[in-house]
Structure 1
Amino acid sequence: MAQDQEKIELSGAGNSTQAVLNEQQRRDQIQPHHGENNHVPNVVFKSIGEESSLKMTRRKAYPKPDLGRRGLFGRFTIIPEVTKPYDYNDRTKWAMTVIVAVAAATSSTGSSIFYPALSEVAVALNTTPTVTNLSLAFYMLAMSFTPLWWSTYSERLGRRTIYILSFSLFMIFSVPSAVSVNIAMLIVMRILSGGAAASVQAVGAGTVADIWEPRQRGRAMGVSYMRPLCGPKITPIIGGALTQGLGWQSTLGFLVIFGGMLLIMIFFCLPETLAKREPLPSGPEPETNRKSRAQLVIEKSTKVLKGIVDPFKVLEYLRYPTIIISVFSAAIAFGSLYVINISIEVNFASPPYNFNTIEVGLLYLAPTLGHAVASVLGGQWVDYITYREAVKAQRYYINRKLVYLPEDRMKENIWLAALLYLAGMIWYS
């Protein structure tokens, strides 16, 4: 039986195309195993913990020397970079996950904290509410597209480098936003700060996948998404209090302080987790001194253009049903999140309610509780589903570890989410 099996080698985080190829090869090699002669015992474990305790051995993390650490200013991290990120102990993994979760909330915090201040901004900058709303709309538009580039560059430059660069830019662009003298300046600076803050939306999921194995990844992803989901509901309360007490500029000043604190945490506590890839073999280096200046300019221009265009190649994966369903479901969920946030402020601040800014902010507490509970319990539920399906199909590696497939996470989840979402929207309307 052992001769019929080939050892499966899981690749590290690479580019998207390589990841798909590796996944296909893995599926082709995995076979369900049954029968008395099977190396896998004929037993169904009662829990993930029981299965893990029998089949997983404690591994030791081997830190890299200071000079060998990757990423921007990597030698200054308190948590050392290790050769295999899976080998971090759970306490360290959770600390890194919490940092990523809080950092991922920056983009949503930057939009939702501004909701209670929209009316005051329109008066202060002598413009209409419709034009003022553009500062929020374009901020979210930048949040939607820039993760394409951040995620692509993170595969080349590393997660840590992208985090430090993006949060530095976020602070730089947030300062002019707070001192804007007209609506045009505010809109431009908000677009730039929104694009900078959106890096963790894509790169953060990569960090979580780097350090957590598939059997535990659902719970970790649930925690990492809890803060971005709850942020848009909590920060309007802060925004309302700041706007009423110190004016609308204080909300943007809060973002500068918030971004600075996160930058310090990332700088000292978030090492590089991207798997190191061996360089591809290449031919002899061409003699650059024989190239003309025009050729060098063309080559550099081509590289720059490729860096701008290449991220759009990931859109090709939308032709796969499983991916388009996942993306569409997430788009509907996050889209409705922001629509409801705006509608709460608009509807309840107007007659017949006439709530003040603090009262409007308190209305966001109910959905915050729902997001928090769903994130924590949903992650554990997803881990259970993937474990259940792997045991049911009896998918094992040669070393008796269960094989988890990504599509196992959907199952009944997609139907539960669709029905509950529809019922909730009807109830709210």
Structure 2
Amino acid sequence: MLIVMRMLSGGASASVQAVGAGTIADLWDSRERGRAMGIFYLGPLCGPLFAPIVGGLLAERWGWRSTMWFLAGYGALTVIFIFLALPETLAVRKPVLPDVAENDMAPVSRPLSRVSSRQVVGVTTRWLKMLKIVFIDPLKIVLYLQYIPVLLSVYYASIAFGSLYVLNVSVEHSFGKPPYNFSTIIIGLLYIPNSVGYVVASLFGGRWMDSIMQREAKKANRYDEKGRPIYHPEDRMRENAWLGAFLYPAALIWYGWTVDKGVFWLVPMIANFFFGIGSMLIFSMVTTMLTEFMPKKSSEGVALNNFMRNIFSCVGSLVTAPIINGIGNGWLFTILGLVSFASSSVIFLMRVFGPRWRKTMDERMR
């Protein structure tokens, strides 16, 4: 039952991220969206800052069940705030089609002699439609991977996000054992450095990304008939992307070998701070780009990003501890860092071929 409830909570949190990013796309223009998206992502990524600390204190004082009660109360407060303080942000709503009455339904292939049989068919049809909406329709977002800009952006973010979970598991796995032997609360505090990195990158990274996009539009002399700059999503992948592409893989290798050799705990924590900066630059950049590659389906683009990157994070969480036991932190994070470095080729590809791929995508999505 605990696993089932955790699956349901995961689905709920994923929908919040997708709808939240779509809300940002509704409210902010492209020239300011990067800053807004960076601030928005402080929420999901600062969870690792507060959750281990609060959870460790609760579990140590009242047991692990107290964390569940805390989350239940927190969720109830969140629902209240959503109803009271979160209005609809979509400018134009699609008309809702009226429900088709049972009498207007197309006849079945052969006549049914009993009313109860018709009721069974109607109920079954409604349940099948509901199951399709719940389990089949959400998977249609995977079809957007046929567009190269979406595929590459999602892949790059997924590598960084999977690395985050490998790092989180390693912190818990490694610092609770010799030579560190830290308690649960102290291990929770070790998540602060990378979370501080997220905050720093959110505060300056989004604004920096917006200024880069505006600069690129002016440099290319792209203006509409009213003299307003024309922005392209791939313009966000410039020096900010290269900085993130260098920082977070280098920080992974730095962390891996310092922990592997039992170096004083502050040294790997400094590496985690830089990992937080580099990975946050990538996360906010990709999420903002997806809302602009798919302007009329921004929530679906973010949902696809969440779907794919959570697959990477799930696999990473499962295999990290066995791999550490087998080859150690040093080699694990060296391999992961090299894969991350190699994946930064996405930035070069988007720089060279991005405009052509985006135009093709726009034509096919019309």
TMscore range, shorter length: 0.5 to 0.7
Structure 1 position 285, deviation (Å): 9.4
Matched with 2:285 is none
| 1:359 paired residue among 168, 174, 186 | 186
Matched with 2:65 is 249
| 2:92 paired residue among 266, 270, 276 | 276
Structure 1 position 299, deviation (Å): 5.0
Query: Is 2:82 the counterpart of 1:266?
Result: yes
1:140-192 superposed Cα distances (whole Å, 9 cap, x missing partner): xxxxxxxxxxxxxxxxxxxxxxxxxxxxxxxxxxxxxxxxxxxxx22222222
Alignment of 1:17-416 (within 5 A): 185-279=1-95, 288=104, 291=107, 293=118, 296=122, 300=126, 303-307=129-133, 308-416=135-243
Structure 1 position 415, deviation (Å): 2.6
The alpha-carbon distance between structure 1 residues 275 and 306, as it changes in their structure 2 partners (threshold 3 A), is farther
1:115-143 superposed Cα distances (whole Å, 9 cap, x missing partner): xxxxxxxxxxxxxxxxxxxxxxxxxxxxx
Q: TM-score, normalised by structure 1?
A: 0.53
Structure 1 position 296, deviation (Å): 4.2
The alpha-carbon distance between structure 1 residues 211 and 390, as it changes in their structure 2 partners (threshold 3 A), is same
1:255-280 superposed Cα distances (whole Å, 9 cap, x missing partner): 11211221111110000112324549
The alpha-carbon distance between structure 1 residues 342 and 210, as it changes in their structure 2 partners (threshold 3 A), is same
Structure 1 position 419, deviation (Å): 1.5
Q: TM-score, normalised by structure 2?
A: 0.61
> 2 CA distance for matches of 1:281 and 1:231?
40
Report if the CA contact (8 A) 2:102-2:122 is conserved.
no
Aligned Cα RMSD in Å? 2.6
The alpha-carbon distance between structure 1 residues 286 and 392, as it changes in their structure 2 partners (threshold 3 A), is farther
Report if the CA contact (8 A) 1:234-1:368 is conserved.
no
The alpha-carbon distance between structure 1 residues 190 and 224, as it changes in their structure 2 partners (threshold 3 A), is same
> 1 CA distance for matches of 2:45 and 2:53?
15
1:310-364 superposed Cα distances (whole Å, 9 cap, x missing partner): 2222212212222122111211222222221121111111122111112111111
Q: Counterpart amino acid of 1:249?
A: R
Structure 1 position 306, deviation (Å): 4.1
> 1 CA distance for matches of 2:84 and 2:180?
47
Report if the CA contact (8 A) 1:226-1:376 is conserved.
no
List alignment gaps of at least 5 residues for structure 2.
109-117, 257-366
Matched with 2:296 is none
> 2 CA distance for matches of 1:306 and 1:289?
19
Q: Counterpart amino acid of 1:413?
A: N
List alignment gaps of at least 5 residues for structure 1.
1-184
Structure 1 position 300, deviation (Å): 3.3
> Which is richer in helix?
2
> 1 CA distance for matches of 2:155 and 2:243?
15
% identical aligned pairs:
53
SS at structure 1 position matched to 2:41: helix
Q: Counterpart amino acid of 1:408?
A: D
Report if the CA contact (8 A) 1:216-1:383 is conserved.
yes
1:26-60 superposed Cα distances (whole Å, 9 cap, x missing partner): xxxxxxxxxxxxxxxxxxxxxxxxxxxxxxxxxxx
> 2 CA distance for matches of 1:289 and 1:187?
40
